[in-house]
Structure 1
Amino acid sequence: MSVAAVVIGRNEGARLIACLQSLRGLSPVIYVDSGSTDGSVAAARRLGATVVELDMTQPFTAARARNAGLSALPDSTDLVQFLDGDCVLDAGWIATARQFLQGHPEVAVVCGRRREIAPDASVYNRLIDREWDTPPGAAKACGGDALMRVAPLRGVGGYRESLIAGEEPELCVRLRQAGWGIWRLDAEMTAHDAQVTKFGQWWRRTVRAGYAFAEGAALHGAAPERHWVRERRRALVWGAGVPLVIAGAVLVAGPVALLGLLVYPVQVLRLARHGGWAWAFFTVLGKFAEARGALGYLTDQMRNRRRGIIEYK
């Protein structure tokens, strides 16, 4: 089974070089660049990658970049490893993942453990590293790094290019609806360099997640999928609904109703028993950012407006 690679990036610098060097042995390697000004295109060509430069006069999404890479692959390609330009592929991953797909013809997508390169650089990096640590076995979705069968991917039309976030889970919904399986292996896959060291970066990333929850639920929220319906509901209830109820109670009962805000530290205490204080605190705080993103999506729909990507680094 032939294995190619598609890498997407913009101004990744040394991270892109490390990424492409980790892909030696795969052919072809397609690098899709989205307007880099740091020499990434020239560096990718020096390392032997086929470069696709996106027309940046058109709205950019990661989904559009991945589809451009998919279109550049030869028709004979069996498998494609998708990779973000800030990631490095584990040396043993391709052999492990390809062997699994050879033994499981019903599976279209296989992914493994994505780890943060510097989890101790910030609390936000640690939270992201924890986010990547999902259980092995049959899964509903993958992330940006995954090994996929090309034929099923093309059969469902590739990625949905209009999505500004959450494009991989949405693709996996359509693959599962077509009868294919998604699988997560208990194996090292990639090392990721998030470089999220500031609160504002984490906040924007979480707003983006809320936007994705709302759009994903709008697309596939009906039964049996119920795609991201729970995540959207939690964001709107905790990040918008509860504050509105408390504000209304203050108008009726006066300042004493502000005691209702104690529901948030209580929620932190409850969650901390299962996941630690930092995770609990940012999980609760993150509901406000997610609500902002979800409400932003609803506002965009009412105004018939298409939003650009929400960047956080």
Structure 2
Amino acid sequence: MSAVDLILIGRNEGDRLRRCLASAQGQARRMVYVDSGSSDGSVAAAEAAGAEVVHLDLSRPFTAARARHQGFLHLEATGGAAEIVQFIDGDCAIAPGWIETARAALLAEPKRGLVTGWRREIAPGASIYNALAQVEWHRPAGEIRACGGDMMLRRTAYLEAGGFDARVIAAEDDELCCRLRKAGWQLLRIAEEMTQHDAAMTRFGAWWQRAVRTGHGFAQVGHLHPDYFRRERMRSWLWGLLAPVLALVGLFAAPWLTALVLLAYVLSWLRTARGLMRQEGLPRATALHHAVFLTLSKFPNLIGMLRFHLRRWMGRDMRIIEYK
């Protein structure tokens, strides 16, 4: 049976990393931990768990994509990666049975290049932000266009697609998936729990920064693959910029226009809530609450998009936007 190598990434994840390492014990042929300048004992914890540790050179901007790819390059340079590689973030734990189930699904079809499953928040009731993440992770099973960073890949597919692009600071997983699909590989989500995630997000400011980072991803990945994130970019321009400008103009020229824009926001909020009730099965009150944040997210999304374009126009490095 094909061997599996495991690549974990992290930066100051503390107990979450130790939980991740414990869940990975005995799951892979080799376990590589890529550290991005931690100062909390993460490296010692990884070494104690038997992981091979890779330190990122911090003279260059670090990104999740760069960390994951450096982990893969380490495997290749020290005997070669296994034909199957599982990537996982350090704030996640591997669900029991996932590796075997995913490996079987990946090998079932020769052109299946990636298999993913469902993330689960370990404490969705701790905050509205954790609850939002839980909804975000739960997507329909079947053939997919893209997925998050917890993924199992064939080494052949990863090499053919070119691996993670270190320049992409957000939605780097979506960007890799775009190249995998263009190379002719199938991507599959199976209806199995894959990882248990600890968002530990309790502050509005952290949620806002994460939404800014998401917008940066919309713009950067959309710049590289114009057909991808098109709807998300249009929504951000519409609700984050055009609608507020029209409302502002209405204050001075036509008050009815401002009222119309405000009504449009209310209708958008209600439509989002209905979608959450229908697609996610959320109770009405919960859906209305979640919809407030999803409607509001267009503003930080737009800020992230503008930040990407400003960096691109000025020729600056794409530095990671941290929210933890």
Greater mean deviation of Cα atoms: 256-265 or 152-161? 256-265
Q: Pairwise mapping of residues 85-234 of structure 1 onto structure 2 (< 5 A)?
A: 85-221=90-226, 226-234=227-235
TM-score (norm 2): 0.92
Contact 2:88 2:150 in 1 (8 A): yes
Give 1:51's match in structure 2, choosing from 47, 50, 53: 53
What's the offset of the Cα at 1:2? 0.7
Q: For the residues of structure 1 that align with 2:109 and 2:168, how far apart are their CA atoms? A: 30
What's the offset of the Cα at 1:123? 0.5
Q: For the residues of structure 2 that align with 1:58 and 1:272, how far apart are their CA atoms? A: 42
Question: 1:106-134 CA deviation, whole Å, 9 max, x = no partner?
Answer: 11110001000100000110000100000
Question: 1:239-292 CA deviation, whole Å, 9 max, x = no partner?
Answer: 111111222233323x45431323212221222223210221111111111111
Q: For the residues of structure 1 that align with 2:297 and 2:154, how far apart are their CA atoms? A: 35
1:70 is aligned to 2:72: yes
Contact 1:124 1:197 in 2 (8 A): yes
Contact 2:6 2:32 in 1 (8 A): yes
User: Secondary structure of 1:81's partner?
Assistant: strand
**Uncovered stretches (5+) of structure 1, i.e. residues with no partner:** none
Question: 1:179-224 CA deviation, whole Å, 9 max, x = no partner?
Answer: 0011000001000000111111111101111110011111111xxx
1:297 is aligned to 2:308: yes
Contact 1:117 1:192 in 2 (8 A): yes
Question: 1:28-59 CA deviation, whole Å, 9 max, x = no partner?
Answer: 10000011111111111111000001111111
Contact 1:156 1:175 in 2 (8 A): yes
Q: Pairwise mapping of residues 229-240 of structure 1 onto structure 2 (< 5 A)?
A: 229-240=230-241
What residue is the counterpart of 2:284 in the other structure?
Answer: none
Please, what is the CA RMSD of the aligned residues?
1.2
One-letter amino acid of the structure 1 residue matched with residue 69 of structure 2: N
What's the offset of the Cα at 1:152? 1.4
Aligned length: 308
Question: 1:117-169 CA deviation, whole Å, 9 max, x = no partner?
Answer: 10000011000010000000000112110111112102222101101101111
Contact 1:236 1:294 in 2 (8 A): no
What's the offset of the Cα at 1:305? 2.0
1:265 is aligned to 2:270: no
Percent of residue pairs bearing the same amino acid type = 46
